Every structure is written in structure tokens, then in C-alpha cells.
Amino acid sequence: MAAAPVPANLPLFYKDLSPLSSVEHADYRARPLDKADFLVKQHAIPLTSDEFVSACRYYPIVFSAGDNPVPLALMGLNEGVNTFVDDDGKLLNPVYVPAYVRRYPFLLARLQEGSDELSLCFDPTSEAIGKFDEGDPLFENGQPTASVQAVLEFCKNFEEAGQRTGFFMEELKKADLLMDGEVAIQQEGNDKPFVYRGFQMVDENKLRELRGDVLRKLTQNGILALIFAHLFSLQLMREIFAEQVKAGKMPAVMELPTT
């Protein structure tokens, strides 16, 4: 856990990153927070394939645009809108919280290019870690505490889930199942619908036309069940839309279909 520079390209939520050090952070503590202000303006959260079954009950699950798509849980349909937290970042209702959120402010990162070794790091700007009087100590007698060991295990499990997610995405691409997504939602009182694009989804027509051997493979490796979880979750887009309307968080200008 020696201190070292970390990559400048930081992932979502992270404003800075420091390797956790038993010397530099010997007297640091971690405390639970009752809010996540970093979520307030985030409408799309990375999701692992392991979480599809749990997440599909609460969030529409889509895939990012581009050649290397990743699964996303939608907490809102428009940039800067999150319908699951209030303006302070407190959850409005009990829901499944994606592991990407629960991992913050910790992260496993490579400290040296070309190295396979991952080190436990944290965002030093987070209010969850620091020189506090309260909270769980990170080190005792120069050794990581049980709470740090638990965080490390969680982060390792998250990385492994990320690898399984990569395999899942590769299988979707091999089967050529992804297509550009588009959802049109008609709001009462408007003569034109709100149209949402900029994401990918599974093409149900292609799914139905899969060869028997391909379909059997997707069934045996568990991918078909994940595909269905994704497809079922898309029905929640209208519920998210309704929450945005209720909260008065709709865009001033509608995006209309192009011809």
C-alpha cells in the first residue's frame, strides 16, 4: 500500500485518487454517510451483469453507445436528472443500489502502467474518509483493519464481476444482438412525444431469429436470462419519465424523431 501516482483519467464520481497507505493514513477513519451528493446530477450508473436481476426491478438497464458498450442503470432519462435521490443525495425510497455506487470512495487501480497488480485507493475529497473522531479506523498497529479487508474483498469481487460483464458484452456482440435504442414517450397534454436515443439495447427480432445452437449456448451460460432482465427493465422508462414530470425536471425542448 505504498504511495504512488495514479492515472489522471478518473472514473465517474472520483475527483482525485490516492493509494491507501498504512503510513500516510495511519490515523484515518471511515464513517458512513447518509447521503451521496455525487449522485445528484448522475442519470446513468455503470452496472455489472451480476446485478441485472436485482437492478431490473428498479432501473431501466441499457447499454452505452459506441463500439465498446457497457451496461448502465438509468436513474433518470435526461442529463443531470436523478429521480432516485433528493437534492442532497439522499435516497427517496429503498431501492437496490448499484455496486459501482457502493464501492465509492474506494477503488482498485493500477499504479504503474504495464503492471497487473492492483492497489486499493480512495478519493481523498470524499467526506467518508479522513482524520475523524468517529468512524472505523483503517489501520491498527500498521495493519489494515477488518473493515479495510472487507472493502478490499468487495473491490476484488467488483473487478471479477467486471470481467464477467466484459464476457457478457462480447457474447452480445458476437451474436449481433445490439441495436441503437429509441424510446418515444407521450406526455399527456403534448401532441408530440419525448424521444430518447443515444443508447443501445437488445434487438428482440434478432433474438427471436437466433439459430438453435447459438440460443442453446446463451441459455447454458446464463446470458439469455440476463438479456430478458434487460428487456423487462425497459418498461420502467415510462415510470422514470413520470417521476421526472412529477419533480418538474423535464427538458425545456423535446427531442423529436428524425425522418
Look up residue 29 and give its three cell numbers. Answer: 477513519
Q: List, for residues 148-158, the tens digit of each pLDDT value.
A: 999 999 999 99
Count of C-beta atoms within a 10 Å radius of residue 67: 5
pLDDT at 17 over 90: yes
The Cα 107–Cα 207 span in angstroms is 36
Percent of the chain at pLDDT > 90 equals 81
Q: How confident is the model at residue 193 (pLDDT cuts 50, 70, 90)?
A: confident
pLDDT tens digits for range 227-252: 999 999 999 999 999 999 998 887 65
DSSP 133: S
Q: Are the C-beta atoms of residues 35 and 20 closer than 8 Å to each other?
A: no
Using the predicted structure, report yes or no on whether residue 2 has a pLDDT greater than 80.
no
Q: Is the dihedral of CA 25, 28, 32, 35 positive or negative?
A: negative
> 148-187 burial, b if ≥16 CB within 10 A, otherwise e?
beebbeebeebeebbeebeebbebbeebebbeebebebee
pLDDT in tens, 46-74: 999 999 999 999 999 999 999 999 999 99
- Looking at residue 45, its pLDDT comes to 97
Mean pLDDT of the chain: 90
Cα 61 → chain centroid: 10
Phi, psi of 247, deg, nearest 5: -85, 0
- Residue 254 has a pLDDT of 45
Residue 201: pLDDT over 70 = yes
Cα–Cα dist 83/209, whole Å? 36
Give the start-to-end residue ranges of the domains of the chain: 18-247
Q: 143: exposed, middle or buried (C-beta count within 10 Å: 0-12, 13-18, 19+)?
A: exposed
pLDDT for 8 equals 58
Helix then strand then coil, in percent of the chain rounded to 5, is 30, 20, 50
CA neighbours within 13 Å on the CB side: how many for 144? 13
User: What would the mean pLDDT of 16-37 be, rounded to a whole number?
Assistant: 93
Question: Mean of the pLDDT values across residues 214-227?
Answer: 95
pLDDT at residue number 128: 95
Q: Where are the beta strands (DSSP E) in 75-224?
A: 106-109, 119-122, 129-130, 136-137, 139-140, 143-144, 178-180, 183-185, 194-196, 199-202
Reply yes or no on whether the pLDDT at 253 is more than 50: no
- pLDDT tens string 110-150: 877 777 789 999 999 999 999 999 999 999 999 999 999 99
Which residues lie across from 136 on neighbouring strands?
A: 30
**Whole-angstrom distance, CA of residue 231 vs CA of residue 48:** 16
